[in-house]
Amino acid sequence: MLILHCPCCGVDAAEIELAPGGEAHLTREGPGSSDAALEAYLFTRDNPRGVVFERWRHAYGCGKWFLAARDSVTMEVYGTYSAQTHAPPQEILDRIADRHPDRAKAL
Amino acid sequence: MSTRLATGGRFTDRGKQIGFTFNGRRFTGFQGDTLASALLAGDQILVGRSFKYHRPRGIVASGSEEPNALVGLGQGARFEPDQRATTTELFDGLVAESQNHWPSLAFDVGEINAKLARFLPAGFYYKTFLWPRAFWKHIYEPVIRRSAGLGKAPHPEVRDADRYEHFHAHTDVLIVGGGVAGLQAARNAARAGVQVLLLEQTAHWGGRTPVDGGTIEGLAPEAWVTQAVAELAALDNVRMRLRCMGAGVYDHGYALGYERLTDHKPGAPGPRHRLWRIRARQIITATGALERPLSFAGNDVPGVMLASAVRDYVVNYGVAPGDRTVVVTNNDDAYRTAILIKTSGLDVPAILDARPMGGGALMQQARDLGIRVEPGRGVSKVLGGARVTGVAVCDQAGGGSMLEEIPCDAVAMSGGWSPVVHLWSHCGGKLTWDADGAFFRPDPSRAPTGADGTPFVIVAGSANGHLGLQEALCCADGAGKDAVEAIGCCLEESPVPKADAVAEAPLMPVWLMPQGARADLRMKAFLDYQNDVKVSDIQLAAREGYESVEHAKRYTTLGMATDQGKLSNIHGLAILSDALGAPIPQVGTTTFRPPYTPISFGAIAGEARDAVFQPLRRTAMQDWHEANNAAWEIVGQWRRPYCYPRPGESRHAAVNREINATRESLGLLDASTLGKILVKGPDAGRFLDMMYTNMMSTLPVGKCRYGLMCNENGFLMDDGVVVRLSEDSWLCHTTSGGADHVHAHMEDWLQCEWWDWKVYTANLTEQYAQIAVVGPNARKLLEKLGGMDVSKEAMPFMTWAEGSLADTPARVYRISFSGELSYEIAVPANRGRAFWGKLLEAGAEWNITPYGTEALHVMRAEKGFIMIGDESDGTVIPQDLGLHWAISKKKEDFLGKRAQQRPDMARDDRWQLVGLETLDGSVLPDGAYALAAGKNANGQRNTEGRVTSTYYSPTLNKGIAMGLVKNGPDRMGEVLSFTAEAQDETRDELSTVEAKIVSPVFFDPKGEKQDV
Amino acid sequence: MSDVMAPMAGARSEGLIAVEALPPQGQISLRCEVSEDYRAKLGDLLGLGVPEPLSAVEEGDRALLWMAPDELLLLLPYDAVPEMLARLNEAFEGWFIAITDVSDARAQFRLSGPHLGDVLSKVTPADMSPDAFTPGMVRRSRLAQIAAGYWLRSDSEAQVFVFRSVGDYAFRVLSLVATPGGEVYHHTREAISEHDASSYV
C-alpha cells in the first residue's frame, strides 16, 4: 500500500486517502484532431514495467490532483509534483536517470 | 501414554484447574495450557482425520505451524472452524470438536479412502471426474465436498457474537517476534530514542530460548528475558503487544498485525481481534525458525511429533507426550529433547541419528545419561495405526530393510530447521540457499525496498539462519542498530550480550528416510499432513512433467492447506529437485503470501458490520420517511423512499395511489439527494460550455436549463438542470448517484487541463434539503404558505426565484420531472425537516401525498424523460436518445464532441430511443430484447433493440416502456417481438411479447400541464 | 430557531471518549488564493490571522481552518452567518473568490477524553500520535469509510466534521470504537500504570 507525498498540502497520504487517475501528461485531442490521434488520446496507454508518471488525487484530504513518478515494479517513488505542468520537473528526471542509467542512455 | 508430569510447566498454574470438553468428553487442564497441551495431558493423542485419506492424526507441533490439530472451537455465535489446538489458549468451558470425520473420530467410514490411496494419487480429481460433464455438479462435487475438506463454516443465520476493530499505528521501527532476537533488536533500537513497536504472536515473551537452554549475560534465558522485557516496558518510546502476530509486510513499510484480544477469555468486554495497520520506516523480522519433520513411512501416525515440540510440552506445560520416546534426527538439536526426557524420568529407548558419525557434545551428554545412540540409522516405518506402538529401525543408507523393532509410544523427529522467511518474502525479499544449514535464508543484497528505493526489512536471529544462541543475539543486535541507522540515527557502540550454549555438530540433509526408501514406504511418507501429500505424489508430478515448483504445488496441493506448507515446503522442494535432477536453489520456492497464518474475517472487516457495514446517507427528512413506513430504494449510499405503503397496501397499489394523487392534486418528493454543485468565477460560463453539451454561458440570470454531460468518449455521463444564479455563478444539479463523481470530474478538468481558468466549484449537495411540490394544486400550496410570488407571470416555467416561504429562506425552481405544475424548493438542510412538516400540514386540504422514487420514475417515463442508468449505460450517446436539441452546434468544443464525430457514433442504424406499447396492454419485462431474424456467428439469436424502462402507468391504465431500437424513430407503428419474462425451457422457440413502436412521450405531449 | 435542527442534534455517547454532536454551527467556505492581499483583507474583516497549512486559528467563537491550498473554512455562530456573508461579499466585490454558506452541509462533533488519540487511530490512517498531530492542527482524512476533517483543540479534545448525510454513520462508528473494553494504550500510555499492565507487556 503506497504512501505518496501530496505536494499541494504537504501530507504524506496513504493509498486509501488517494484516488488514482491513470497516466499523466496526456495531450487532449479535441475537434479537428485525426482519428488516430483521438484513439491514442482516449485508449492507448503505455503501462510500462518500470518508470511511470501518474495522476493522483488527494481525494480524502485537500482534494487536489498531483502527479507522481514511480516505479511500477519496485514501487520506488521518484517524486510527486504539481498537476499544473506539462512535463516532469528536471529534478525528478535526474533522479530517475540516476536510478536507471540504462534508461537514461536509451533516451 | 501421554501424560502430565508431576512437576514443571513454565506457563501453567497448577493451582488453577480448568474444565473443557473435546468431542463431548470432559477434560481438565491448567491455567496457561494450550488446548493441545491439555489434550496431551489427558492422553488424547488422536485429534483429527486427514483431508483426503481420513487417516488418524495427532498433534505434531506446539505452535502456529501445526498442520493436524485443527478443531471446531466454540458453539453457536462463537463457533469457529479450523482453529489450531496448539495456539488456542485454554479457558474454562472451552468446547472443541474434531473435524473431517464421520461418523466418529475413532471410527471413520472415509478411512476407506486410505485403503484406496494407491488410486487417489496427485491430480486424481483432475483426471478422474472429467466425464461425463453433467455428473460433476450433481454427483462428484457433492460427494467430494462431503468426504474431503476441513471444518464446516458457521451456519449462515448465526451472527458472530463478537466485535472487531482496526488500529492504525505509525512507528519508526516495527519488530516482529518477541524472542531473544526480537528483544535484543528492540533494546538496541530503543536506545536510539526512536519509536519502537514490538509484536509477539504468543502470550509469552522469549520465544524458544528458555526451552532450549544456555545462558545470556550469565543468566538463564528466562531470567534474561524477564529483565529485557522490564527494561523495554519502562521506556516511553517502546510499545509492546503480546498475542499480536505480524501477519504481512507490504509496500512502503506497511505491515499488518493480528491481535487476538479475547480468544483466551471469550465474552470479555472489548473487541475480539484487532487488526493493526502499521506504517513503519524500518521492519525487523525476528520470526525465528521452524523445525522440519523427517519423511519416513508412517510419520503421520499420532504420537510422532517434532522433537522441539516434545521439548516445549515438557518444559512449558509439564506434559510428556509419551512414556517411551524414540528420537530420530539428522542434527544435534534433537538430542536436547532426548536429554530432557531422560532427565525428566522418562524412557528414551534409542536415538536414531541418520548421520553416519552421529553428533557432537550433545550426543556425548546423551550417551553419558545412558541413552542408546544409533548413528547412521533411521526409521523404516512407524508401527501402529491410531497411535504409535513402535518403530522399525533401518540403515539410513539403504532401502528400508528392518534391522530391529523398538517398541515405543512416541517418536520425536527432527529434520533440521527452516528460518521463518515469510515476512521477508511478502514484499519481494529474495532468498538464498544455505547448503550448510540446508535451508533458504534471506539474501540481504536483495531486500524488499521502500518508497525511497532502499531496503526497509532487516532480519534478525534464527529467522536469518543464525541458529546458535550467540550468533542469533549478534545478528539481532546488529539488526537493531542497522534499523536506526537506516532512519538516520546514530547509535553509540555497546557490547553484544554474551551467550553460552553447547556447540553443535553439523547437520546432514535428509529429505527421505531411508535414503532409498522402497515405493511402499514412500507412499506412506507424508510431506504435507494437512493436504495428504506424500513423497510419491511429488515424484509422480515430476514424472508427469510438472517441473515448475508452482505447477507441482498446484497439481499435488502441497503447501496449499491452511498451514501453507510451513512444515512441508522444503522437503517437497527437495524431493522435487531430486526427481528432476536439479539443485534445490535452481528449483526455487513457491511464493510466500500474507497472512503468515490465517486471520479472521472479522479482523479484516473491523468495525464494518451491521449498522455500520457501510455508510448510509440520510437526508434531513429521513426520520419522517422511516416513521411513515417507507419502502426503500438503494441509490448509491442513499436509501430513498421507493413508496410509502399504508397498512394493508401493496407496494404496487401504493405507487399507483401516489401517482394518481400527484397528477390529480398534489404530491411531495424528497429530492435532497440530487447533486448541487456551485460553479463560480469569471470563466465559469466558458467552463460549463465545455462540461455540458449545451450552451450554458448564454443562460440568462434567473433561468434554468436542462443540460447533458458527456465524457471524453462521447458517452452520456450525467444530466440535470443548470441554474444561472448570477453574472458569475451557476448551480448545476446532477443525478443523485452522480454528485460526487461530477464534482470530481469538474475539479479534474479545472486542476489538470484548464488550470489558468478562473473558476471555483463547491459541492453544495448537503447544504440544502430539496423538496419537489408537484401537481395541479402546487401553486395554491405555496401561495398558502406565503412569502413569495409564485404566479405564472412572476415565475414562469424554467425560472427560479429566491425568497422566503413560510418564514423559511428558500430558493424555488420552476422545473418539472413529472410533466405537472411543479416547484422544487431548496431550503437550508437544518430547516428541511421543519419545512417538510409545514408543507404536509398546509397541503392537507389538497390531499398532499408524499411519493417515492417509483412514482417519480413512472411519471417521468409517462413523459418520455430519460433516466441516467436506465436509458444510458455508458455506451449511449445523447443522439441515441433523441436529445439532439440539447447538443449545441454552435460550440467549437465540449467534452465528448470530438468522440461523437467518430464514424460509429454517426452511423444511421444505431439503436435509438422510442416508446413501446404492448399490443395487449401488459408490462414489458425490463431489459427484454427485441428479436431479429437469424442467428449470429455464435449461434445466438440476433437482436435489434432492448427495453430500458418499463412500468405500469396508472394514468394511462396500461403498460408503457421505453427502449433503444435499431433505427427506432423511423419505424413508428412497427410491431416487434420481445423476449418474455418466463421462458418455457422445454420448447425450442423463445416465448415472446409483441409491442408496437410509438413516441416515447405517452402523456401530455404538448407539455400543457407543466406550463400553467 | 426552533425550525433549525443540526444533524444528529443532541446525540451523545460516553465511552473511552465522549462523542457529542454540536449544535448548529455557522460555516462559511472561502475559496480564494491565499496571497498577501487576500490575507490582509481577510485578516481585517475577520479579526483572525490566516492559518498556516494544516492548522487553524481561533478567537472567541470564531475560527478559521485551513482546508486546502485555496480553501479556508470560517466557523462562527450560526446566527451570525447572514451578516458575515453580506460583509464578505461586500468586501470582496469584484475579487476572484467563492464565498459559500455551508453551515448546513456538515455535521460537527466534539470528541473528548484521555483515549482520544487511540480512538481516532481506530478509524483514520492519519498519524494521530501526540508527536505528529498537535493541538491547533487540522487534518482531512478518512473516518472509517467516509471523508472527515479533524481539528485537534487540545491533547484530549478534537472537533470532527463530516458531511451531514453521514453524520449518523460517523456517530455510530465513533461510539462503537470508543466502547469500553477497547482500550489500546498506544498513544496514551501513561494510563497503563492505572490498569493491568501485565496484559499489555
* A9 in C contact zone (CB under 8 Å): yes
Q: Is the pLDDT of residue B577 over 70?
A: yes
d(CA B35, CA B85): 5
Report C:118-177 residues touching A (Cβ under 8 A): 125-126, 139-142, 147
How much is the average pLDDT of B884-895? 96
Neighbours of chain C (3+ CB pairs under 8 A): A, B
Query: What b/e sequence results for C73-109 when a residue is b if at least 16 CB atoms lie within 10 Å of its CB, and e otherwise?
Result: bbbbebeebeebbeebeeebeeebbbbbbbbbbbbbb
Confidence of residue C195 (pLDDT cuts 50, 70, 90): very low
- Helical axes B739-752 vs B684-691, angle rounded to 10°: 120
Chain A: touching chains (3 or more CB pairs < 8 Å) = B, C
Residue with cell 477434560: B27
Q: What is the mean pLDDT of residues C135-140?
A: 98
What is the pLDDT, as a whole number, of residue B131? 59
For chain B, give every residue range classified as CATH 3.50.50.60.
164-290+418-500, 293-415
From chain C, pick out residues whose CB is under 8 angstroms from the CB of B828. 4, 101, 103-104
Sign of the torsion formed by the C-alpha atoms of B792, B796, B802 and B808 = positive
Q: Is A2 on the interface with B (CB under 8 A)?
A: yes
- 3-class DSSP assignment, residue B625: helix
Q: Please state which architecture CATH assigns to domain B675-763.
A: 2-Layer Sandwich (3.30)
- For the cut 50, the answer to whether the pLDDT of residue B323 exceeds it is yes
Verify whether the Cβ–Cβ distance B830 to C104 is below 8 Å.
yes
What pLDDT, in 10s, does the model give residues B725-755?
A: 999 999 999 999 999 999 999 999 999 999 9
Concatenated DSSP letters for B689-742?
HHHBSS--TTPPTTBEEEEEEE-TTS-EEEEEEEEEEETTEEEEEE-TTTHHHH
Contact (CB<8Å) A9/C53: yes
Those residues with Cβ within 8 angstroms of residue B834's Cβ, 6 or more apart along the chain or in another chain: B808, C2, C3, C4, C5
CATH class of residue range B293-415 = alpha beta
CATH T-level fold of C12-183: Gyrase A; domain 2 (3.30.1360)
User: Of B960, B952, B954, B959, nearest to B1001 (Cα)?
Assistant: B960
Instruction: Give CA–CA dist C142/C120, Å, rounded.
Output: 10
Q: Does A11 touch chain C (CB under 8 A)?
A: yes
Q: Are B928 and B979 in contact (CB under 8 A)?
A: yes
CA end-to-end span of chain C: 53
Interface check for A11 against chain B (CB to CB < 8 A): the answer is: no
Chain A interface includes B986 (CB < 8 A): no
To the nearest whole angstrom, how far is the Cα of B755 from the nearest Cα of chain A? Answer: 6
Contact A60 C67 (CB under 8 A): no
DSSP C137: B
Peptide bond preceding B103 in cis form (omega within 30 of 0)? yes
Residue B742 in grid coordinates: 461530477
Q: In the prediction, which pLDDT does B370 show?
A: 97
pLDDT, tens digit, 9 for 90 and up, residues B34-92: 999 999 999 999 998 887 888 899 999 999 999 999 999 999 999 999 999 999 999 99
- Residue by residue, pLDDT tens for chain A (107 residues) are 999 999 999 999 999 999 999 999 999 999 999 999 999 999 999 899 999 999 999 999 999 999 999 999 999 999 999 999 999 999 999 999 999 988 756 55
Arch. (CATH architecture) of B514-582: Orthogonal Bundle (1.10)
Which chain C positions have a beta carbon within 8 Å of A61's beta carbon?
139-141
Query: Confidence class of residue B141 from pLDDT cuts 50, 70 and 90?
Result: low
What backbone torsions phi and psi does residue C160 show, to the nearest 5 degrees? -120, 135
Closest alpha carbon to B283 in B496, B139, B427? B427
**Which option is the CATH number for A3-26+36-106: 3.40.50.11810, 3.30.2270.10, 3.60.70.12, 3.40.190.10?**
3.30.2270.10
Question: Please, which residues 535-574 of chain B have a Cβ atom closer than 8 Å to chain C?
Answer: none
Query: Which grid cell sits at B2?
Result: 501421554
Task: Give the nearest chain C residue to A13 (CA atoms).
Answer: C126
Q: How many angstroms away from the CA of A18 is the closest CA of chain C?
A: 10
pLDDT of the residue at A29: 97
Helices (H), B116-212: 124-128, 133-135, 141-147, 180-191, 209-212
Which of B648, B638, B593 is closest to B616 using CA atoms? B638
Using CB atoms and an 8 Å cut-off, which of residues 172-201 of chain B contact chain C? 195
Is some CB atom of chain A closer than 8 A to the CB atom of B899? yes
Which helix (H) or strand (E) segment is B941 a member of? strand B941-953
Say what the pLDDT of residue B109 is. Answer: 64
Min Cα–Cα distance to chain C from B195, Å: 11
Percent of the residues in chain B that have a pLDDT greater than 70, as a whole number: 95
Nearest to C147 among A8, A14, A60 (CB): A60
Partner residue facing C125 (CB), from B168, B240, B268: B168
C61: cell is 467563537
Taking an 8 Å cut-off on Cβ atoms, the answer to whether B616 and C98 are in contact is no
Dihedral sign, Cα of residue B848, residue B853, residue B854, residue B860: positive
CATH topology of domain B164-290+418-500: FAD/NAD(P)-binding domain (3.50.50)
| 8 Å CB contact of B898 and A77 | no
Among residues B388, B350, B345, which one has the least CA distance to residue B367?
A: B350
Judged by CB atoms closer than 8 Å, whether chains meet at B835 and C3 is answered as yes
- CB interface of A with C, residues 64-83, below 8 Å: 64
Distance CA A3, CA B145 (A): 43
pLDDT digits (tens, 9 = 90+) for B379-406: 999 999 999 999 999 999 999 999 999 9
Are the Cβ atoms of B834 and C5 closer than 8 angstroms?
Answer: yes
Structure confidence at residue C199 (pLDDT): 45
B312, B287 contact by CB (below 8 A): no
Q: Best of C137, C142, C163 to disrupt the A interface by mutation (most A CBs within 10 Å)?
A: C142
User: Which three-class secondary structure string do you get for B118-140?
Assistant: HHCCCCHHHHHCCCCHHHHHHHH
Mean pLDDT of B856-864: 97
**How far is it, in rounded angstroms, from Cα C12 to Cα C14?**
7
Closest CA to B876 of B715, B687, B986, B997: B715
**Average pLDDT over chain B, rounded to whole?**
94
Chain B, chain C: beta-carbon pairs less than 8 Å apart: 154
- Out of B233, B269, B680, closest to residue C181 by CB: B269
Domain spans of chain A, in order of start: 3-26+36-106
d(CA C157, CA C177): 16
Is residue C52 pLDDT above 50, yes or no? Answer: yes
pLDDT of C188: 79
Q: Which residues of B870-892 are buried (b: 16+ CB within 10 A; e: fewer)?
A: bbbeeebbbbbbbbeebbbeebe
Q: Which residues pair with B996 in a beta bridge?
A: B917, B975
Which of A9, A38, A72, A92 is most worth mutating to test chain B (most B CB atoms within 10 A of its CB)? A38
Q: Which candidate in A17, A18, A65 is best for mutational testing of the C interface (most C CBs within 10 A)?
A: A17
CB-based contact, B747 to chain A, within 8 Å: yes
C-alpha closest to that of B733 among B708, B750, B701: B708
Cβ atoms B148, B51 nearer than 8 A: yes
pLDDT of residue B987: 72
In this prediction, residue B149 carries a pLDDT of 63
Among the residue ranges A20-29, A46-55, B95-104, B641-650, the one predicted with the least confidence is B95-104
Chain C neighbors of B831, CB-CB under 8 A: 3-5, 104
CB contact under 8 A, C165 and B766: yes
Do the Cβ atoms of B861 and B669 come closer than 8 Å?
Answer: no
Q: Would you state the pLDDT for residue C45?
A: 93
HEC string of B845-900 equals HHCCEECCHHHHHHHHHHCCCCCCCCCCCCCCCHHHHCCHHHCCCCCCCCCCHHHH
Nearest to B766 among C105, C177, C197 (CB): C105
ipTM of the complex in this document: 0.97
Which part of chain B is CATH 3.30.70.1400? 675-763
pLDDT one-digit tens code per residue, B781-813: 999 999 999 999 999 999 999 999 999 999 999
> Which chain A positions have a beta carbon within 8 Å of B453's beta carbon?
71, 74, 76, 99
Question: Looking at the complex, does the CB of residue A95 fall below 8 Å from at least one CB of chain B?
Answer: no
* pLDDT tens sequence across B518-570: 999 999 999 999 888 999 999 999 999 998 999 999 999 898 888 888 999 99
**Chain C hits for A65, Cβ within 8 Å:** none
C121 vs B contacts (CB less than 8 Å): 167-169
pLDDT band of residue C201 (cuts 50, 70, 90) is: very low
Q: Which runs of consecutive H residues, i.e. helices, occur in C25-104? A: 36-46, 81-91
The CA distance from B149 to B125, in Å, is 14
Q: How far is CA C60 from CA B599, C29, C75, in A?
A: 49, 19, 11
Domain B1-158: which topology?
Answer: Ubiquitin-like (UB roll) (3.10.20)
Average pLDDT over residues B22-38: 97
Burial B364-385 (b: 16+ CB within 10 A, else e): ebbeeeebebbeebbbbbbbbe
Is B996 within 8 Å of chain C by CB? no
How many cross-chain Cβ pairs, A to B, lie less than 8 Å apart?
Answer: 70
Contact between C68 and A9 using a beta-carbon 8 Å cutoff: yes
> Does residue C124 surpass a pLDDT of 60?
yes
Residue B110 has pLDDT above 90, yes or no: no
CATH topology classification for B899-998: Elongation Factor Tu (Ef-tu); domain 3 (2.40.30)
Higher pLDDT, B352 or B990: B352
Cβ–Cβ contact C85 with B under 8 A: no
Strands C25-31 and C71-77: antiparallel
Name the pTM for this structure.
0.95
Say whether residue B608 is in contact with chain A using an 8 A CB cutoff: no
CA distance to partner chain C, nearest, from residue A5 (Å):
13
Mean pLDDT on B266-294: 97
Q: What is the 3-state secondary structure (H, E, C) of B326-348?
A: EEEECCCHHHHHHHHHHHCCCEC
The residues, any chain, with a CB within 8 Å of residue B896's CB and separated by 6 or more, are B693, B710, B711, B712, B713, B714, B715, B877
Task: Give B635's strand partners.
Answer: B638
- Tell whether the model's pLDDT for residue B959 goes beyond 60: yes
Interface test with A, best of B170, B746, B752, B757 (most A CBs within 10 A): B752
What's the burial of B910, exposed, middle or buried (CB within 10 Å: 0-12/13-18/19+)?
Answer: middle
Contacts of B423 (CB under 8 A, 6+ apart): B176, B246, B248, B249, B255, B283, B285, B287, B457, B596
Of residues B381, B320, B330, the one with CA closest to residue B352: B330
Q: At B720, which amino acid appears?
A: G
Chain B nearest CA to A54, separation (Å): 12
Half-sphere exposure in the Cβ direction for B818 (13 Å, CA): 34
Separation of alpha carbons B753 and B759, rounded Å? 13
> At residue C136, does pLDDT exceed 80?
yes
Cα separation values, B778 from B383, B666, B801, B804, B854, Å: 92, 6, 16, 16, 20
